[in-house]
């Protein structure tokens, strides 16, 4: 049976980019269905962080850069200041998901911000990035300008905050198991295998057909 995996993330969370690699490796060849789920760490109009200030400088020096180096992942502290709000990018995700490119879109947003230093709060940049993965740029731009997917995004966001009880990203919900933070390929594989085994039907022993019937 297919194991469903939901990955809650925000496009301005570097650990979401770093956590993606071991997950991609863990699901290879397995019967899984992955869905990325929006989660805004600092929803508009809350103030976002500035890369030149102490908090991000310290966090990246102590945690992000060492982990990225250990994992062999290229990453930069984006210079966009203050950091962009991500609601428009996530509204674009709703469009991308309808077009069957949701996961590809998430990957493109994370790489654009943390490897290419692109401002993913800018409509024109978002539209160009959408076009790069094969989405219709005119339709995408119109969706952002009219806020066509605002309600859908907000509904998904409220589900994450309340019903799903997500408090940090990245958070993986693998079947019935919820784990937060960067996990190794081996740990994720074990969770997935456990979920696959849990979903297998448990047949009663000793039930047979004989000459008297079934």
Torsion sign across C-alpha atoms 179, 107, 15, 90: negative
The answer to whether position 209 is within a domain reads: no
- 10, part of any domain: yes
107 occurs within a structural domain:
yes
| 111-169 pLDDT, tens digit each | 999 999 999 999 999 999 999 999 999 999 999 999 999 999 999 999 999 999 999 99
CA proximity to 11, closest of 34, 45, 39, 32: 39
Compute the distance between CA of residue 150 and CA of residue 39 in angstroms, rounded to an integer. Answer: 14
Please report whether residue 43 resides in a domain: yes
Domain containing 61 equals 3-199
Q: pLDDT, tens digit, for every residue of 15-61?
A: 999 999 999 999 999 999 999 999 999 999 999 999 999 999 999 99
At residue 111, the pLDDT reads 98
7-20 per-position pLDDT tens digit? 999 999 999 999 99
- Residue 207 within a domain: no
Task: Please report whether residue 96 resides in a domain.
Answer: yes
Torsion angles phi and psi, residue 127, rounded to 5: -65, -40
87 found inside a domain: yes
Q: Does residue 214 fall inside a structural domain?
A: no
* Rounded distance between C-alpha atoms, residue 184 and residue 108, angstroms: 22
The total of structural domains in the chain comes to: 1
Q: Rounded to an integer, what distance in angstroms lies between the CA atom of residue 201 and that of residue 192?
A: 16
Please, is 52 exposed, middle or buried when counting C-beta atoms within 10 Å of its C-beta (0-12, 13-18, 19+)? Answer: exposed
What's the CATH code of the domain at 48? 3.40.30.10
Per residue in 200-212, pLDDT (tens digit) is 766 666 566 666 6
């Amino acid at each position: 049976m297919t194991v469903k995996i939901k990955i809650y993330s925000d496009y301005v969370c570097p650990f979401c980019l770093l956590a993606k690699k071991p997950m991609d490796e863990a699901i290879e060849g397995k019967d899984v269905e992955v869905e990325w789920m929006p989660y805004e760490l600092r929803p508009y109009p809350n103030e976002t962080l500035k890369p030149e200030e102490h908090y991000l400088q310290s966090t990246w020096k102590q945690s992000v850069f060492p982990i990225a180096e250990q994992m062999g992942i290229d990453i930069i502290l984006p210079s966009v200041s203050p950091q962009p709000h991500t609601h428009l990018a996530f509204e674009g995700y709703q469009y991308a998901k309808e077009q069957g490119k949701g996961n590809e879109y998430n990957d493109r947003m994370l790489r654009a911000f943390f490897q290419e230093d692109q401002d993913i709060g800018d409509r024109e940049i978002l539209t160009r990035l959408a076009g790069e993965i094969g989405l219709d740029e005119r339709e995408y731009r119109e969706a952002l300008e009219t806020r066509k997917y605002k309600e859908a995004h907000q509904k998904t966001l409220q589900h994450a905050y309340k019903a799903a009880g997500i408090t940090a990203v990245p958070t993986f919900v693998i079947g019935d198991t919820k784990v937060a933070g960067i996990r190794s390929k081996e740990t994720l594989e074990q969770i997935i295998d456990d979920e696959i085994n849990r979903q297998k039907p448990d047949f009663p022993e000793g039930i047979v057909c004989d000459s008297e019937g079934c």
